[in-house]
Amino acid sequence: MDIDIGNALDAVAAPGVSREYLDRLDRRVADAHERIERGMADDEFGYAALNLPERVDTAAIRDAVAPLADSEAVLTVGIGGSALGAATLTDALDTDGEAYYLDNVDPAQVSQLLDDLDLESTALNVVSRSGTTAETLANFLVVREAYADAGVDWTERTLVTTGDSGNLRDLADEHDLPVLPVPDGVPGRFSALSTVGLAPAAILGIDIESVVTGASAERESLSGSLYETPAYAYGAITYALAARGANVNVVMPYHETLETYAEWYAQLSAESLGKDGLGQTPVRALGATDQHSQLQLYRAGPNDKLVTFVHARDGPDVAIPSAELEGLDYLEGASLGELRDAEFEATEASLADVGLPNVRIEIERVDAASVGGLLYGMEAATVLAGELYGVETFTQPAVEWGKEVARDLLRGADALDETTSLRVTRE
């Protein structure tokens, strides 16, 4: 990936970053890079994720999914990092089957999905590092029963990706299921380039080797200067802008199939950096659609935002048929891609025009290698930002409290006294 941070400089934007500050920050980037390289060399928890392009065993993934290669669809049961990396790949790239994700606990959704699917030709991909994630296990039990009710042997169609022990590992052993390991030292939100993200993609015919090659190239680019490393330039500019009041980071791809990428990045950023009162709020947007929804706010609302555009330089196109419609002369001879790109450039300029900081991330095209590079680059950017913020990038302690409360409620505990009620109801 390439990046252009010109519209985040104080010559254009407020909040904006001065060149002098960036030069000083670059010294901290050099130190942080040393820390990151050390973490990678020692395979420290979290930092190990940045070694995945060199470590992931795509041949083992191909072997594990081989029995499921004839599937017309893959149903992944997993939540958070166990689903979002895979979903980013299968939504962004061409597949030779359908990808479905049960990444919520919603009875209406589960019933609808199980009604619609032909389970005979659907691979079941169950993902949980601990093997004890409540939502995932509950959904798995429901889906397993649906396979049985449909007269399909679920053990013939199931792949499990999990850690060394736990319920899922036991189940896989008991039923002799193909099982892939979740790599050590890799938090869920950093697992897109591991077995977790790549296995469903492989079943659906995605060139996972190119995904990894693209990530490797990005890994090669890591250096001690933000001026030479696109990923670090992004990590550094988000950090610097957050410190200057850009509490919101709008991630706005101009490609429909990258919508899930924005979801993935939102998890990566929020869980890694949302700590100690810090962390930008990621907002998932989509160009050109959200020009007709959110642009009014971005241009005329509070200057508390960075907008991150994601754009591919090349890709398929469709000509707009000639129609000589009144007032639409500018569409004559144009294509949908040209219209989209003109809207993208105009939106970028329209934010610069009012001084709202924005950044352009560019990839060559929405293909396996470029998307692999993009995912790796954003992971490196987030790790760098964590070093600059001084937070514990790889933990998510604030998620645990609610999990325990939910368990207690299901066990019959009383209502909670943290909350207060002031109800307003219709007459």
Active-site residue list: 271, 292, 403
Q: Is 203 helix (H, G, I), strand (E, B) or coil?
A: helix
Interface with a second copy in residues 16-45 (CB under 8 A): none
Nearest distance from residue 226's CB to a second copy, in Å?
Answer: 7
Cβ-based nearer residue to a second copy, 6 or 66: 6
Distance CA 50, CA 313 (A): 26
Q: Which of residues 290-329 bind a second copy (CB under 8 A)?
A: 291-305, 315-318, 320-321, 323, 325-329
Of residues 209, 271, 367, 379, which one binds a second copy by CB under 8 A?
271
Residue with Cβ nearer a second copy (38 or 365):
365
* Residue 37 vs residues 50, 141, 394: alpha-carbon distances, Å: 9, 42, 16
The partner residues of 360 in beta bridges, in order of sequence, read 4, 309
Task: Map residues 352-391 to x or -, x wherever contact with a second copy holds by CB under 8 A.
Answer: xx------------x-------------------------
Residues 69 to 128 in contact with a second copy, rule: CB under 8 A: 79-81, 84, 103-111
Q: Quick one: which of 91, 263, 367, 379 contacts a second copy (CB under 8 A)?
A: 263
Phi and psi, residue 322, nearest 5°: -70, 140
Per-position DSSP letters for 102-169, written without gaps between them: E-S--HHHHHHHHHH--GGGEEEEEEESSS--HHHHHHHHHHHHHHHHTT--GGGTEEEEE-SSSHHH
**Looking at 58-66, 175-183, 379-387, 412-420, which segment touches a second copy (CB under 8 A)?**
412-420
Structure tokens at 114: 């199980």
247 binds a second copy (CB under 8 A): yes
Q: How far is the CB of 80 from a second copy (least distance, A)?
A: 3
Return the residue of 199, 202, 208, 286 that touches a second copy, per CB under 8 A. Answer: 286
66 is a contact residue toward a second copy (CB under 8 A): no
- In the bound complex, what is the minimum distance in angstroms from residue 119's beta carbon to a second copy? 16
Distance in angstroms (rounded) separating the CA atoms of residues 304 and 75? 39
Under a CB-based contact definition with an 8 Å cutoff, are residues 23 and 225 in contact? no
Nearer to a second copy (CB atom), residue 3 or residue 50: 3
Residue 211 binds a second copy (CB under 8 A): no
Give the residue with the Cβ less far from a second copy, 195 or 396.
Answer: 396
What is the closest distance, in whole angstroms, from the C-beta atom of residue 59 to a second copy in the complex?
Answer: 27
Nearest to 236 by CA among 23, 12, 1: 23
Q: Which ranges of 184-288 would DSSP assign to H, the alpha helix? A: 195-203, 208-220, 230-243, 259-273
Give the rounded distance of the alpha carbon of 298 from its chain centre.
Answer: 23
Q: What's the number of CA atoms in the CB half-sphere (13 Å) around residue 369?
A: 7
Write out the H or E segment, with its range, that includes residue 334: none
Binder to a second copy among 348, 367, 379, 387 (CB under 8 A)?
348
Judged by CB under 8 A, the residue of 200, 230, 372, 386 near a second copy is 230
On whether the CB atoms of residues 177 and 155 are closer than 8 A, the answer is yes
| Site for a second copy contains 406 (CB under 8 A) | yes
Residue 41 CA to residue 18 CA, distance in Å, equals 34
Does the footprint of a second copy cover residue 213 (CB under 8 A)?
A: no
Which two tokens mark 340?
Answer: 């989209």
- In angstroms, what is the minimal distance from the CB of 99 to a second copy? 14
The distance of closest approach from Cβ of residue 325 to a second copy in the complex, given in angstroms and rounded to an integer, is 5
